[in-house]
């Protein structure tokens, strides 16, 4: 049995349970998903400063996951929080949801349409994807025009807007795969199998894809390259 830790920050109890339930649903007979808590929350939004600020909290969570015997670890959210540094801290795979979704999508199509929460986040997502060297795969970006904390109370509107924006990416920009660049859209509030049937193209989301990639790498005995990520013995210094 391969054990994959899913790192979740602070959320209101109902929102936290939604995310835990989705993550745990990706357990199989071969992969057991467990939850690691971290004292940082994306619920009210994370800008560039906050993204850097929370990295030590996620580094600490990765170290705890390894100490607790997990074979791989995945942070919640498409910001891939603390992933790059975490790979130098632990000897288990640290899989970023955004990076994993892009690479899974590359096995299914050639032009990706990304739908995020609000338009103000698109420049940040563009820079992130450029850093992965995958900007040429992107057909276009859209948003549902909502903050994360607004989605539960406006779910129907969010779903309707998401579907319309995704169809625009497919019809107008030539996207052949849709990536929800925000897990609170899909798979938390929109089921990916329903969305795939509705849109007629593959939908690669940021909880199932990274968990299964993490389980696969751990099952194959693969680890991050120490040429690319030299091992560090530095412990995270929390603010």
- pLDDT tens, residue by residue, 121-179: 999 999 999 999 999 999 999 999 999 889 999 999 999 999 999 999 999 999 999 99
**What integer pLDDT is reported at residue 80 of this predicted model?**
96
Assess contact for 65 and 5: CB atoms under 8 A: yes
Q: What is the DSSP string of 33-79?
A: EEEEE-S---TT---HHHHHHTHHHHHHHHHHHHHTT-SEEEESSTT
**What integer pLDDT is reported at residue 200 of this predicted model?**
98
**What integer pLDDT is reported at residue 53 of this predicted model?**
86
Q: In CATH terms, is domain 109-199 a member of 3.30.499.10? A: no
Assess contact for 218 and 69: CB atoms under 8 A: no
Assess contact for 224 and 94: CB atoms under 8 A: yes
Pick the CATH number of 2-97+208-219 from 3.40.50.920, 3.30.1460.30, 3.60.15.10, 3.40.50.1860: 3.40.50.1860
pTM for the model stands at 0.95
**Strands 112-116, 31-37: parallel, antiparallel or unpaired by DSSP?**
unpaired
Domain spans of the chain, in order of start? 2-97+208-219, 109-199
Say whether 109-199 and 2-97+208-219 share the same fold.
Answer: yes
- pLDDT tens, residue by residue, 23-49: 999 999 999 999 999 988 777 777 788
**What integer pLDDT is reported at residue 40 of this predicted model?**
83
- pLDDT tens, residue by residue, 88-110: 999 999 999 999 999 999 999 99
**What integer pLDDT is reported at residue 152 of this predicted model?**
92
């Amino acid at each position: 049995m391969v054990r994959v830790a899913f790192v979740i920050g602070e959320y209101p109890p109902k929102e936290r349970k939604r995310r835990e339930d989705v993550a745990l649903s990706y357990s199989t007979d071969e992969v057991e998903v467990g939850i690691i808590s971290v004292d940082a929350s994306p619920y009210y939004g994370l800008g560039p400063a906050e993204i850097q600020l929370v990295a030590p909290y996620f580094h600490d969570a990765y170290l705890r996951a390894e100490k607790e015997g997990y074979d791989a670890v995945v942070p919640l959210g498409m910001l891939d929080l603390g992933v790059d540094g975490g790979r130098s801290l632990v000897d288990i795979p640290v899989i970023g949801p955004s990076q994993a979704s892009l690479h899974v999508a590359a096995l299914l199509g050639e032009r990706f349409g990304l739908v995020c929460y609000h338009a103000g986040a698109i420049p940040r997502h563009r820079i992130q994807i450029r850093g992965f060297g995958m900007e040429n795969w992107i057909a276009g970006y859209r948003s549902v025009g909502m903050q994360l904390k607004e989605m539960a109370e406006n779910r129907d509107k969010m779903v309707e807007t998401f579907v319309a924006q995704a169809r625009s990416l497919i019809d107008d920009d030539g996207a052949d795969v849709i990536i929800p660049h925000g897990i609170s859209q899909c798979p938390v509030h929109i089921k990916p199998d329903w969305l795939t049937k509705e849109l007629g193209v593959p939908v690669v989301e940021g909880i199932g894809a990274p968990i299964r990639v993490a389980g696969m790498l751990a099952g194959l005995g693969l680890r991050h390259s120490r040429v690319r990520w030299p091992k560090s013995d530095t412990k995270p210094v929390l603010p």
